[in-house]
Amino acid sequence: MISRIAFFLAMVSIAAVTVATPSAAGSKHGATWLPAHDEQVSFVVDGTTTYGTLHLPARRHGERLPAALLLPGSGPTDRDGNQPPSMTPGTLRDLAGVLGQNRVATLRFDKYGTGRTGLGAYAGHPEDLDYPVLVRQAGAARDYLRRRAEVAPHRVALAGHSEGAMTALVLAAQAPPHRRAAALVLLQPQALRFLDLVAMQLHDQTGQLVESGELSPEEGKVVDRAIDVAVVDLRGGRPVDTSAMPTPLATLFQSLAGPNRRYVVTDDAVHPPHVARRLPPLPVLLTCGELDRQVPCHSTDQLTAVVRQRVVLPGVGHLMTTADGTLSTTLTRELSDMRW
């Protein structure tokens, strides 16, 4: 029966790779070199102190390095790409290590609702959080990174995973010329409107349940119809009727239509392919995972048609890792080859 079916919506995506970037202070050809290190930093945006980690690779004294701002996926994903205590693969921390090996400085930070930052100015009214708040926070992080004496301000790239990739895209498209991104890295990006992606994932799960015999074809049609009606009602600002939905599906849409509605509606208002048409000329790396069920490659087709670039990562899913938990070698190579 439908009531026995457990729907699982996993919008947050994290990956892990272990990379060490040791270095010691010393002298190369007469120049003083400073060791690689992590620095705990903070900046203020919209009345909230945001905390993060600046990773600085080994560098010559006074040298200004290229840099990248790293943006996490949706949900309570912190600066390292973790959702503790259950999911702690350290995605962004390890991406910082990969880039650090290529002498690219990185900044990653605890967005609203995560880590040391917490809800900040929204602690008493989290229902007022919307997607533009996160874009402003990311913009403030970019500006902080550009101001650092160790960073070449005109060589700052924007890199994001999943929803963070969409945020990087929005920042790159709306930046004035003096804050223009040097490059854009879209890792398994949210490339559709949010509710279209939710519906796609849920329809896919329904199809799997019908195929396995856990739902009859008739029951599958009822569930698919309920999903589509709920999306239309959410976008139309109407109450969402969950009375005929399976309990897990009803719980999901009650959350989307309840305390998270402001965020959902403002996130859903962004159509990434339309945003991408406003991009200035810049290097772009867009990846998708061959085995990704959350953001399958076909979901990035429209965005790919605009940016005219896509790298399929063989043998990996949304987390960008192989079966043994290591980062895709294709991704590592692409990041190493990218210059800005």
199 and 151 co-located in one domain:
no
How many domains does the chain fold into?
2
> Which domain-ending residue is among 265, 286, 318?
265
Contact 193, 271 (CB under 8 A): yes
One domain, residues 240 and 185: no
Look at residue 12 in the predicted model and tell me its pLDDT: 31
pLDDT of the residue at 89? 78
Q: How confident is the model at residue 323 (pLDDT cuts 50, 70, 90)?
A: confident
Mean pLDDT value across residues 249-263: 95
Mean pLDDT of 38-66: 97
For residues 130 and 252, state if they share a domain.
no
Can you tell me the mean pLDDT for 31-35? 90
Mean pLDDT calculated for residue range 4-32:
40
Single pTM value for the model: 0.90
CA distance 337 to 165: 19
The whole-number average pLDDT for the span 91-111 is 95
Whether 30 maps to a domain, the answer reads: no
Q: Is 220 among the domain residues?
A: yes
Last residue of a domain, one of 265, 291, 317: 265
Average pLDDT along the chain: 90
Claim to verify: residue 125 and residue 237 sit in the same structural domain = no
Measured CA to CA, the distance from residue 179 to residue 276 in angstroms comes to 17
What average pLDDT does this structure show over 288-300?
Answer: 96
3-state SS of the chain: helix, strand, coil percent to 5? Answer: 40, 20, 40
27 pLDDT more than 70: no
The confidence score (pLDDT) of residue 48 equals: 98
Do residues 15 and 91 make contact, with C-beta atoms less than 8 angstroms apart? yes
Q: Quick one: pLDDT band at residue 30, thresholds 50, 70, 90? A: low
Is the domain of 74 the same as that of 154?
yes
> What CATH number does residue 107 fall under?
3.40.50.1820
pLDDT at 158 over 80: yes
What sign has the CA pseudo-torsion 164, 265, 306, 318? Answer: positive
- In a shared domain, residues 116 and 237: no
Same domain, 186 and 198: no
Residues 132 and 180 in one domain: yes
**Pair 295, 190: CB distance under 8 Å:** yes
Which element (helix H / strand E) includes 138?
A: helix 131-147
- Same domain? For 103 and 169 the reply is yes
Identify the domain containing residue 256 by its residue range: 194-265
